[in-house]
Amino acid sequence: MTHMHIPDGILPVSLWVLGLIVMVFAAGFCLFRLRGMDRVKKIPLLGAVSAVMLVAMSLEILPLAYHINLSVVAGILLGPALGFLAALIANLMLALMGHGGITVIGLNTLLLGSEAVLGHTLFHLFKNRISVFWSAATATVLTLFMTTLALISIVAVSHIRPELISHGDEHGFLHNGQVSVRTFAIMVISLGSIGWTIEAAITGAVVRFISQVKPDLLDHALHRERDGR
Amino acid sequence: MIDVARIDLWAAGGFGPFHRASVPAKIIFLLFVVSSAIISRNPYPLMTGYGVLLAVAAASGLPWFRVMGLSWYAALFAILYAISFHGGWWLVALFIVKAITPSFAVLMLIVSTPYPRIFSLFSALLPEVLAAGLFMTYRTLFILLDMMDNFAAAIRLRGGFSPGSLYKNSANISKGIGMLLVRAVERASSLYAVMVVRGYSGSMAEQGTARFKREDWLPLGTGTAVLMLVIVWK
């Protein structure tokens, strides 16, 4: 559901600036964690997974017209640090295609990146207890639920000072100055819950397919190799 | 989502004044338009700005009609957000133009600038892992889109897509994505190995992208005009 990208000029400046700052620190931390990685193996993997995320976002599942984003798959395959960077790359590419704002790359990356980090963590928590399919599917549902709550929180925080966005009272378009985060939350959760189920089924099936065809991609030890340069 | 391959074709195949302008000038143009959307509290100047962008795009030989259609993708979240405010038409209109105007400017940039020129600017600003990751994503994306088209055609020919069956469609799409992922990793690994052997070390060989040109008057003038409209017309 966090694939629903927030355009420029909608959110208060303080919020997206904070998002950018936190995103820069998070990306810096990820780059620090990756300083010893095997670039010849990891950069193509990063590019391939980010590209697959973008292609998946272009697929429409009929009859619901739902778009998946595969951020949990990215987290499972790349690990939390590279998964976060894959989310950043996907958001940068999307912003460059006019699909999501430039100023809100920070917030969008934090949302999508937290899906990769949470997805990775939850998958590894479940994988020794239940099958690969159900581990990935459960991790996806829980992750998307939590990041949707984060999306609602962003909207709630941005509603604290609506006058930052527009001169509401001046033009009389705010009823008693009240805003309804509840309406937004109901819309996003009701539409999103259908999406979480689809995304969970697809993520589970993709991860199971990879575990059968190329299991080394799921071997996280690969991500700790040193390039020896 | 977006027809990435078509955008790349427009960017590489045009010869209009916007295509000839330098990348930094177009980035400044974009920053001006994004700033206009941020500071605007009235939909009318932004609507006029959107009209100015449309006129400039049409006059420059950019695919303005397609770009206009693509820019409206950004309106979806804006409408939801505006509805959550219980606002009237004014607020909905403001949020929509705040979303579609910068989106149109971004699209004007990318349909008039080949990606390698944008990436060469990025590689000067971003850490190597991110710059290389962006470039690999871009290179892999076109291969994947082609593979996905073939996969979709094969599935349709074999009766794999049924509009009424969510389960069947999801199962087939999952297998396609899994196959795509495995092949993408293999292709990207081979590609990167070849690039490293040929001396690639995270930076692009494109030269002269950071210099301003005489043709820059168009993006700089357009960006300034949109920003002035919003500042003056409050």
In tens, the pLDDT along B151-163 reads 777 777 777 666 6
Average pLDDT, chain B: 82
Which residues in B lie closer than 8 A to residue A59 (C-beta atoms)? 148, 173, 177
Determine contact, residues B129/A41, Cβ cutoff 8 Å. Answer: no
Q: How far apart are the first and last CA of chain A?
A: 41
The H-assigned helical ranges of A34-70 are 39-57
| Cβ distance of A61 and B170 shorter than 8 Å | yes
Number of domains in chain B: 2
The series of mean pLDDT values per 10 residues for chain B, 234 residues long, is 72 86 90 89 91 93 87 75 71 85 89 83 82 85 78 75 69 80 84 79 60 85 93 84
The number of C-beta contacts closer than 8 angstroms across A and B is 278
Q: Are residues B26 and B90 in the same domain?
A: yes
**Both tokens assigned to B188:** 């990207």
Which residues in A lie closer than 8 A to residue B151 (C-beta atoms)? none
A1 lies in some domain: no
Measured distance CA(A157)–CA(B176) in Å, rounded: 39
| Cβ distance of B188 and A48 shorter than 8 Å | yes
Q: What pTM was estimated for this model as a whole?
A: 0.79
Measured distance CA(A78)–CA(B192) in Å, rounded: 17
| Cβ distance of A62 and B184 shorter than 8 Å | no
**Host H or E run for residue A67:** strand A66-67
Measured distance CA(A229)–CA(A226) in Å, rounded: 8
A213 lies in some domain: yes
Q: Are residues B144 and B96 in the same domain?
A: no
A43 lies in some domain: yes
Number of domains in chain A: 1
Q: Are residues B103 and B218 in the same domain?
A: yes
In tens, the pLDDT along B121-141 reads 777 788 888 888 888 888 888
Nearest chain B residue to A208 by CA distance is B178
Q: Are residues B95 and B41 in the same domain?
A: yes
Q: Are residues B73 and B159 in the same domain?
A: no
**The pLDDT of residue B88:** 74
Residue of A4, A6, A10, A73 for testing the chain B interface, max B β-carbons within 10 Å: A10
B36 lies in some domain: yes
Give the number of other CB atoms < 10 A from CB of residue A196. Answer: 20
**Both tokens assigned to B56:** 């400039």
Measured distance CA(A94)–CA(A92) in Å, rounded: 5
pLDDT tens across the length of chain A (229 residues) = 555 556 677 778 888 899 999 999 999 999 998 887 777 778 888 888 998 888 877 666 655 556 788 899 999 999 999 999 999 999 888 877 666 678 888 988 999 999 999 999 999 999 888 899 999 999 999 999 999 888 888 878 776 444 444 444 444 444 444 456 777 788 778 877 888 888 898 899 989 988 888 888 887 544 444 443 3
Containing domain of residue B186, as a range? 126-197
Classify residue A61 by burial, with Cβ atoms within 10 Å: 0-12, 13-18, 19+. middle
Containing domain of residue A65, as a range? 13-224
Q: In 3-state terms, what secondary structure has residue A167?
A: coil
3-state secondary structure B101-137: HHHHHHHHHHHHCCHHHHHHHHHHHCCHHHHHHHHHH
Q: Are residues B153 and B226 in the same domain?
A: no
* ipTM for the complex shown: 0.81
The CATH number of residue A177's host domain is 1.10.1760.20
Helix and strand totals (H; E) in chain A: 7, 2
